[in-house]
Every structure is written in C-alpha cells, then in structure tokens.
Structure 1
C-alpha cells in the first residue's frame, strides 16, 4: 500500500505540472488530436506532438532505465552507493561520444559508440575494485576518479570544437529536450530487453545479496553474477546516455526509495524501482521547465542527488579502504631532497625559458621570460604548493590517503563561495574574494568533519565531499545555462587557468603558500597523533581543536589557490603520494615534499598547456586533472 501511495504521489505531482505546461501551449480540447494526429497547420499542436509529449515520454523511459541500471549495480556489486554516474559508466559514454561526435554520428552508430565507452569505463572500474577486494565504496571512489579524468578529456575536446561546444555541454549535462519520438522509442526498447533480462536473473541477484560466501555455498558464482550484472547495467546506462546525456543520481535515489517503501525482496525491487525512477525523473524535468532558463535536467538531478548521497554516507559504517596508519611506513626511506629541488628547478626553467613558436622550439630570453611567463609560472607553482600542502594536512588529519581538497569537497566549497560573491558583488576586491572562498571551503570542511569520528568508515569523508562536489557541479551548470554575462569571466577560471594572472597575484599566492607551509610545520605534533583517532586523546591532544586548526589552514590554502587559478583537481591528492614515494614519511618532511612536488607539477602542467598544441593553449587545470587522474587511478590500484 505504501509503495503504491508513494508512486501515485510522484506521478500525480509530475502530471499536474505537465498539464500546466501543455495548457500554456494548447487548450485541453486539442490534446488528444495533437498526440495522435496533429494538424500540420496548427503550430501549437505540432509543438505539443513533437516536443512536449515526447519529452515526458523520454523522461519516464530514461528514469526507469537509469533506476533499473542503478539497482542492478547495487545488487550485483553489494554496494548501496553504486549507480551509473558514480561508477564511471556515464562519463565513459560521454567521452566516447565526444571523441566521435564531430563525425556526425546518429542512430545505431551513436548507441554503439556510447555502449563501447560505457562498458570500457565499467570494466576499468571493476578491475580496480577487484584489486581492492570489491569492498564497499571502492568502486564508487574509483568510478568518480575515472569520471573526473574523463570529464577533463571531454572538456579538452570541447575547447577545440567551439561550433558544437554548447550543444555538447547541454547534452552531456543531461538534456531531455526532444524534437521527435525516436529517443523515447529507443529507450523503451532498451528498457524492455534489460527488464526481461533482469527478471531472468532474479535468483542470481538473490544469491548475490548473501555476499560471496553465502552465494558460493548455495551454488552461485559471485564473480559471474557481478560480471553479468555489470554488463547489463552498464549497457543499459550507456545506451540511455547516448539518447539523453548523463543524468546522475536517479539510479541512486530510486532503489533506496523502493527499499524505504517496503520493497525487501529482489523481485519486488526490480518491479518497483523502475516505476519510482520514472516518476522521479519526470517530476524533476517538469520542475525544471518552470525555470525560465535552458537548464539541463541532469544539472537539477545533481542538485537533488547530493543531499541523498550525503545522507547515505552517514549510514556507512563498514570500512572499505582499510589503510595502514600513515605514521607507520613499511620501510625506512630518506627523503630525496636533492632530487625534489632539482625537479622543481627544472620545472620552473621549462615554464620560463622553453617555448614553442611558429618556427619550432626555442629558448626565451630573460627579458621575455620576466615579461610574459614569470607571473604565470610563479602563480602556478604557488597554487600547486598551497593545494598540495592542504592535501597533506587533510590526509594526515583523516588518516585516509585518498583525501584531498577536491575529493572531500573543499575545492568545490571554495569555488561556490567565489561564484556567489561574483554574482552578488562583481566588483569586490581580492580580500573579499578570498574571504568568500575561505568561507565556502570552511563550511565544506566542517561538513567533512562529520565523517571523521564515532567509528566512521575511512571513506566517509570522501563520500561527503562527493556530495558537495555534486552540488557545485549542479550550481555551475545552472549558472552556465543562465547566459549571464558574468559567467564569461568565470569560464576560464573554472578550467584552472593562469591566463589572467598578474605579478601581484603571483606574489600573493607564493606568500600564502610559504606562510601556510610554515604554519603547518608548527602543527607537526598534532599531525603525528591525529591519524591515531581516539587514541590521540590519551597523549594529551585536544583532537577537536587540532582538527579545527588543520581544517582552517587547509581551507585557507585551498581558497587562496582557487581564487588565483581556479578549482584544481588531483594536485592535492598526488602531491602527498609522490612525496611519500620519495621518502617523505614524517609530517614535516611530508609537508615540505608535498609543497615542492605540487608546485612543480602545476608549473609543468601550465607549461605543457602552452606548448602541447601550439598556438592553442590548454588550461593548466585540465592538464593537471588528466595527469592527476591517471596517477590517482594507479594509486587506487595499489
């Protein structure tokens, strides 16, 4: 009864909004004729037949398909947080279509390309998860890292295809706008086949719910079940993405809503989850149509899905990334300070003096370097150092080597603060911008602090941060779709660019990075004890106070770097990892080594962006995301 009432409420609300939408175009008396056989001379009837009705049908079919895909992933992988967007399937399909989009793909060819991209991403994610023991949240983290890297590659492709960049953005953000019935018909066909296949796997999925040992004892093959479930779910999600773009969180929300409504058995979940998914996406799309903007529906689902992910992360208690204490290295290594310093000098020398011109490679003079490249190189180095130090602080505080400003939402919080100030006071000075960014980063960091105590799983801060980052992505999509001229100032900044940096800002970020490193070194003793968790209190440490100081410093460093360069991904994750590999194990050496490596990495990324595709330039943030994403995937595999 409860399940029926919830479904009825979803569809009634969506239907009411749909009726209001159609009534603004066509009187109710003409609806049936417009649906079945519109008059070619009646423009309103044609709009209803080819746009409004197909859009509603596409929303219903896509919502059901994504919900079924999410449910199958959650069952087969024993992971309540799995869904197409958090396992990399959607990003893989979007990247594949971006690679071949300029070829004018359509129909079956487009579906096949999306299917290949989604399956490739799913296979890669599952391979990483198998190496990690298929523990909860490992797949989610691996899939999201892969999604970040794929998104960077997609953005890079879009930068050099301006003629269809906006169309790619709207489509990849999940747009349900339709011009005919083809998308709805295709998705219904995919859904029917997948639903029948899932029904035939009910017994296998029931065994999968018993975990590996229980399934094997009853004659099941856990690996075969996972493979079949992943292939089914990834295929359905990729084919749906080919028709409507990437729509996140419907596949996460609908299965949990079905379980909350009382669907306990696998058969009941397979029956009710697609119904709830159809109602959720239809209602969301009808709500989006009330906004007088060309807002992609996928951006709205990201905003709605973020609170759900945050709530689910709070319930996760089973550790999935059990990590050795960061203060207990497996073997003694001495930091390679000489090599690190030489690498930084080489990175800065490349950024300052090695250039590519129309005549080929050349060396710049000192005057040329100081006039044109000095501010950019120093700003990139300072921002990279600041973000890497922030990452080292967060990893020591949480005891999780996958923590970094972007992975736990601190970078997204800083960017949200800056964008809010940009809209409220476009002429605000650097001090106000830093304060707004710091406030946003601090609020995100405080939220993350919820995931570090009371026996929380090590990955919980990451999942909390993913929710914040999802909300940020939805807000950015909303602002980009608004067409506000102020967003033109933010587009390059959102890519992590040094285009507009002057000498003053370069010196400021260098000073902030150096000062932050000095303050961080003063927190060496708390940083030695914080990874021990509650045991740190027995050593006399005020854990709450130490965490607040660490978060405040990491937030300030992140806000400063974000203000100067823009949101940066993976530098704060890779810098500390590379420093540990170079022998920097103690807190002091880790902080110093992270600063050198992070600064050198971003300075090198900025140089590569200038010379790789001369005369075009690639934002340093995109290059850093590609390099850092690859390195993060390697780190996850270990």
Structure 2
C-alpha cells in the first residue's frame, strides 16, 4: 500500500546511533516511566471523592474491606489502566502511520480512523446490538479501515501532500460525524449517554475494558518492536529498501493494518480520542530518536502519560464543572501542537506545487445571467415549498395570500411567526456562509478552504455558546456579539501564526484545522458542563434553524447589506490573487493586505451566520465550487452565484430536515453534510486524479 507523501520524515534512519543516542533513549525512557508512575498515582486520588495518596498506597499494597479501597481498586484503577493502555496504543499507532505515510501530520485523527470506527460502533449499537456487544472491535476496525482508505484515495494516493491529507481527513471526518450525529438524534433513547463517550471518555465501572483491550494493545506494541528494523527501512527510498530485501508493499500494508487495529481498540473501549498519536511520536523525535526500536516504546510510554495526564486534569475540575471527557482535553493540548508542527512542515513545502490545489473545474457551462435566473427561480421554488410544508400543509394560494397581506388568521400566524422567519434565517445564513467560503478560498488560494475548515465557524460557535452558558445573565442580543468575537479571535490566531510566512495558503489551512479542533473541543466542554441534553447539543454543533425567529433575521440582514457590497468591491483584487503572490505583487497588488481584508469580511459573515444557525459546515465549501464550475474564475460572478446556491442549499436542507422524518427533525447542518457528501467526494476524487496525472 503506497500511501501519501514520501518527503517529510527524514529519508534515512538515524545516523549517529552511538552512545549519545543510547543515553537519550535511556533518559527519555526513565523520564517517561517516572511521569507515568507519578501521573497514575495522582489520577487515583482525583474524583468526586477526595482520597489521599496514603489511602491509595494502602489500597494497592494492603487492600481492606473499606469503601475507599473498593472505589480505588474497582473504579479508579481500571480507569487509570485503560488510560495507560489507550495512550500507548494511540501513540504507537501514530508512529506507524507517520512511518508508512512518511508524513508528520498522519495520526488516527487526521486519517479519519477515529471517525470511521466511531460511526461503525454506533451503527452496531443501533442495528446489530447483540453482535456489537460481542464484536465491538470488529465493527471499529471495519469502520476505521474504510475511513483510512477513503482518506488515502481522496488525498491523491502516493502523491498526497500533508495539506491534502489533513483536508481529506477533516472532510471525511465531517461527513462521517454528520452521519453519526443523525443516527444518534434519530435514536436518542437507544443512544443515551453516548455524547460523553463520543467525546473520548475513560470512565470505567469495572475491569472488563482493560481485560478486553490489553492483549490487543500488547500484541500490537510487541509486533511493532519486533519488526522495528523493517519499519526503519520504510524510511529509505523504495529502491534502496527493495535492494536490501524489503517487501515494501507488504511491509506498509502490515504496518498500517497494525496502526488501524491499535487505534480501533481504543475507540471500541473509550471512544474516539485524538491528537495523542500526533503529539507523542513528535515529542520523542524532538530528542533525535528516530529508530523504531526506541521510538515505538518511548512514544507508547509518553502517550500513556499524556492521555492519563489529560484525564487527570479533567477530573481535577470534576466538582466544579462535572465529568469532562479526556478527548476534549487532548484536543485542547493537541491544537497548539498541530500549529507548531504545521510551521515546521512549512519549511519543507512552502512554495511547492501543493500550495494551491485545483479541485474545481474551469469550464463555463453557460451564460452567467442564465445561471443567475435559473438559481433565482430555484431559490424561489425551494422557499415556496418550505413555506407550504410541515406538520400542517398550507396551500400555495394561502401562502400567496398571506404574503400579500391577507389570508386566514391561522395560516398568517403559522407563516409569519414561525415558518417565514425560520426560512429567511436559513436563506440569509446560507448566503453569508457561501460568500464567506468564496472569499476564504480566494484569500488562502485553496479551493478546499471553508469557514468551518479554517476554524472560523467553530470559533464563532464557541464564542456564542460561551455567552449562552457561562454568562446567562446577558440578554440574547449579546449572542451574535459573542459569535463575532469568537470568530474573529479564531481567525486572528490563524492569521497571526501565518503572517510571518506571508499568509502561506498551506500554513493558513493547517493552522485553521488546529484552531477548529481546539474550538470544537471547547464547545464539547461547555456543552457537558452545562449538562445539555444530547439532541440540542448535537443540533447546536451540527447547525440548526429550529426555533429561529425575526431576531435572527434582523441580525443577519443588516450584516449582509453592509458586507456584501464590500465583498463585491474587492472583486478585481481577489481575482489577482489567483495568479500567485509574485505575479499579483508584480502588477501592484499588496498581497498580504488583500488577503487580510478579504479574510476579515469572510470572518464577519461566517461568525454572524454561526450566531444565528450554529456550526453549519459544507455550505461555504460546496456553493463556491459549484459557482466556479459554472461560471469560471471571475470573483464577482462567483460570489453572486455562490450566494444564490448557498441560499438554496441551506433553505433546502432546513426543508428536508423538517419533512423527511416528521414529527422529528434533522438539523439543517447534518442534512447539508449528507446532501453535499456525494458532490464533495466527487470533487476530491477528481482533484486526486488531477494530482496523479501531474
């Protein structure tokens, strides 16, 4: 299995494997074991019941029939041990994935393994509960493997770059997570308690999880260490490895299979936990240790320490904030690490051909005005059907009568107080997200840019939720202010980190992914702290127009009236960005300032939309692509057509979500992900074929 990029992990194993390396390995091992031991003991003291270290030692060395001893040995010790096992498994999986792909950004999260395994386990829980109870690992492995293969294919196979892998992994994760959220919402009674587990929780009530997981983890670690020499040879060029007798394809396939198995074991027991497989291997590599005989066990030790430490941090605040998932804490830690790693990666890939990916088409399939008329009519048709549809069907004639100022009183109340403001909110938010996506794709010179992918939507959602949950005394009118502040803060962080590299599109996107992950983790923590029910929590995270009224319309409409003309005014400057930084600067364009102004408008549009409808993804990705495919590369034409398509998409998603499973509803954000997935997969597949042909 030739997978992804071959240039970002050193092509030779460690050269100076002498005394210095041996001392570093020994030092890292001793330090890691000390960290594991210390964190484990601290972990056993934390929880709702305060237990001293002396009591912990007595419970381990001389257990008695005491409540504290039973609590330690029956609940806290299994939790700590499963944390150690899971951390070691995820770290080792990260090492193997990075070695096979020779890509420093590869991990169980970026390759979509966690999301695929999680979806498969939820499907087993809902549709084959008896089988899932006995074969949970099998379900997880099938899902994780399928997701990794999908990311591999979409990223361009062996020609995939770190940026393409990260984006492909995030897109596959978004799609799979949307399907998972839909299943959970449709089966809320069956999936009670799954939200905490789905965020990555080490909670254990007995030793069953440990008994199940440890043989698999031990076998995976042992195999990785026994075949460390073969893993070292995977870092050589293929010709060199083959001349040394290495069966490269078989070795890569076996190593990736072991990595997926290790990651899926953890998902089947403690849920999807990200970033451990990214952080731990690089933490060890920073000391200069690259040979797998030392790298695998050291990464496993430090991964165990990191995950158990993250869970310990979460439990320190259990009395104040409730049970927090370890997965959210690791995401908060891993986000900054990914930013740092993106900066390191940029030194090797900056200015390369992968900074701009041609994922869309350039053909003009018709006159611009014709497409505007067609999509305007489609928008009108979708909006009309949406007003007519619902638990109570309203005739078309009554809709026209009400909108004309007449109609029956019952219909007037339903349309004017409920359906019309909700429809306008969806339509205006769709327009805002589509224009924001169009601007961002031009600003980062990456057709896979999107307010969700570069962290703006998640940051805005976190800001809005912060005010709603942690400052409930503030009036509801402050929510959009919180969203704008959160979106601007996320974008400011992305731009600040990327500024020194000239706002390099690759760095901008990778940093955005890290910020989005950290913001999503913060949203998870706030939802759990507020003890929101599963359905509203998932609806908020996915994006929903349920219950939206005239207040949301009145906060969206002025923003669009102000910002859309500014986006139009930037048209010629944005067009010049497509020619590359040097060419644009050569004709007098101030590239950084243009990117900055474009980004500010995009951030404001996405933030205000997020304040109104939550974290809706895909609109800002799909609508600009569809517009570019139809009209070419003219920014002003793209923006107009993308706005119409965005209004159609989110309004249609809201309509479908309301009627497809009446009387229940699916959040519009989930519907947009499910409806947009086929086109998005086609887009990535087409882009990967273009990459292979180069």
TM-score of the superposition, structure 1-length normalised? 0.91
Q: Are 2:572 and 1:525 aligned? A: yes
Q: 1:436 aligns with which of 482, 486, 490?
A: 482
Provide the secondary structure at the position in 1 that maps to 2:135.
Answer: helix
Most deviating of 87-96 and 581-590: 581-590
**Whole-angstrom CA distance in 1 between matches of 2:201 and 2:77:** 15
Q: 1:482 aligns with which of 516, 521, 529?
A: 529
User: Partner of 1:257 in structure 2?
Assistant: 283
Residues 530 and 221 of structure 1: CA distance in aligned 2, closer, same or farther (over 3 Å):
farther
Partners of 2:360 and 2:625 within 8 A in 1: no
**Whole-angstrom CA distance in 1 between matches of 2:625 and 2:276:** 34
Residues 614-625 of structure 1: pairs in structure 2 closer than 5 A: 614-625=662-673
Partners of 2:627 and 2:638 within 8 A in 1: yes
Q: Deviations over 1:335-391 (max 9, x none)?
A: 33333223222222222224466xx99868314473332111111111001001001
Residues 316-465 of structure 1: pairs in structure 2 closer than 5 A: 316-317=345-346, 318=349, 319=352, 321-323=354-356, 329=362, 334-335=367-368, 336-355=371-390, 365-366=398-399, 367=402, 368=411, 370-371=415-416, 372-423=418-469, 425-429=471-475, 432-449=478-495, 450-451=497-498, 454=501, 458-465=505-512
User: Partner of 2:324 in structure 1?
Assistant: 295
User: Partner of 1:4 in structure 2?
Assistant: 29
Q: Are 2:69 and 1:45 aligned? A: yes
Residues 331 and 161 of structure 1: CA distance in aligned 2, closer, same or farther (over 3 Å):
closer
Residues 18-417 of structure 1: pairs in structure 2 closer than 5 A: 18=43, 20-21=45-46, 34-35=59-60, 42-102=66-126, 103-105=128-130, 107-131=133-157, 133-212=159-238, 214-215=240-241, 218=244, 220-292=246-318, 293-317=322-346, 318=349, 319=352, 321-323=354-356, 329=362, 334-335=367-368, 336-355=371-390, 365-366=398-399, 367=402, 368=411, 370-371=415-416, 372-417=418-463
Partners of 1:87 and 1:125 within 8 A in 2: yes
1:54 CA drift (Å): 1.1
Most deviating of 295-304 and 472-481: 472-481
1:139 CA drift (Å): 2.4
Residues 558 and 99 of structure 1: CA distance in aligned 2, closer, same or farther (over 3 Å):
same
**Whole-angstrom CA distance in 2 between matches of 1:238 and 1:246:** 9
1:566 CA drift (Å): 1.0
Residues 494 and 135 of structure 1: CA distance in aligned 2, closer, same or farther (over 3 Å):
closer
Q: Deviations over 1:199-239 (max 9, x none)?
A: 34333322321254554565545444432222211122112
Most deviating of 196-205 and 148-157: 196-205
1:327 CA drift (Å): 12
Provide the secondary structure at the position in 2 that maps to 1:122.
Answer: helix
Q: RMSD of aligned C-alpha atoms?
A: 3.0
Q: Are 2:574 and 1:539 aligned? A: no
Segments of 5+ residues of structure 2 without an aligned counterpart are 1-23, 403-410, 687-694
Provide the secondary structure at the position in 2 that maps to 1:321.
Answer: helix
Provide the secondary structure at the position in 2 that maps to 1:162.
Answer: coil
**Whole-angstrom CA distance in 1 between matches of 2:61 and 2:120:** 36
1:587 CA drift (Å): 0.7
1:435 CA drift (Å): 3.0
User: Partner of 2:42 in structure 1?
Assistant: 17
Most deviating of 278-287 and 511-520: 511-520
Residues 34 and 504 of structure 1: CA distance in aligned 2, closer, same or farther (over 3 Å):
closer
**Whole-angstrom CA distance in 2 between matches of 1:284 and 1:504:** 40
Partners of 2:359 and 2:683 within 8 A in 1: no
**Whole-angstrom CA distance in 2 between matches of 1:248 and 1:205:** 23
**Whole-angstrom CA distance in 1 between matches of 2:516 and 2:456:** 8
Provide the secondary structure at the position in 1 that maps to 2:159.
Answer: coil
Would you say how many aligned residue pairs link Structure 1 and Structure 2?
635
Q: Deviations over 1:138-189 (max 9, x none)?
A: 2222122111111111111221233354411111111111122121222221
Residues 18 and 436 of structure 1: CA distance in aligned 2, closer, same or farther (over 3 Å):
closer
Provide the secondary structure at the position in 1 that maps to 2:193.
Answer: helix
User: Partner of 1:576 in structure 2?
Assistant: 624
Segments of 5+ residues of structure 1 without an aligned counterpart are none
Residues 223 and 579 of structure 1: CA distance in aligned 2, closer, same or farther (over 3 Å):
farther
**Whole-angstrom CA distance in 1 between matches of 2:172 and 2:360:** 29
Provide the secondary structure at the position in 2 that maps to 1:540.
Answer: coil
Most deviating of 324-333 and 468-477: 324-333
User: Partner of 1:509 in structure 2?
Assistant: 556
**Whole-angstrom CA distance in 2 between matches of 1:178 and 1:613:** 36
Partners of 1:7 and 1:275 within 8 A in 2: yes
1:249 CA drift (Å): 0.7
Most deviating of 479-488 and 224-233: 479-488
Q: Are 2:518 and 1:468 aligned? A: no
Q: Deviations over 1:390-445 (max 9, x none)?
A: 01001111110011100000111211221222245435456643333222212222
Partners of 1:258 and 1:272 within 8 A in 2: yes
1:295 CA drift (Å): 0.8
